[in-house]
Amino acid sequence: MTTQIVYSEEFNKHNNPGHPENAQRLNAMINEINKSAIKSKLDFIKPEILPEKILYETHSEWMIENIKNLSLEEGGWIDLDTYVCQSDYETARLAAGGMLQACNNVLNQDAENAFALVRPPGHHATINHSMGFC
């Protein structure tokens, strides 16, 4: 059985140490994998950045431009739960691209299954609204 893991150290750029959702979450998982015998059964894949045009198939122009602008500045807050760090626009595209790769690899039977260890989290985003974390 082949399990692919999407991971990049670039994901740690999305970090706010004072927030409950921070880079330590991902670091803890990677540290445990590295200590585990299961590591030899995993296939780590390097994520590829998601083409910008695909973002516009999923999110509104307003939402994309808002994240891009916050990311190009010093970062900021979208709402009380959701922060944006400098360079998050590119980091989020890398995470989304890696998740798409993993899905395609499973669908094409290049992997039996996959798990994406990515940051920033985006599973509560809709077309034009971010909704925090869980």
Q: Which residues are catalytic?
A: 124
Q: How far apart are CA 122 and CA 57, in angstroms?
A: 15
Give the chain's radius of gyration (CA, Å).
Answer: 15
Contacts of 105 by beta carbon, 8 Å cutoff, 6+ apart: 4, 45, 111, 114
Alpha-carbon span 103 to 113, nearest angstrom? 8
- Helix axis angle, 88-107 relative to 61-72, nearest 10°? 130
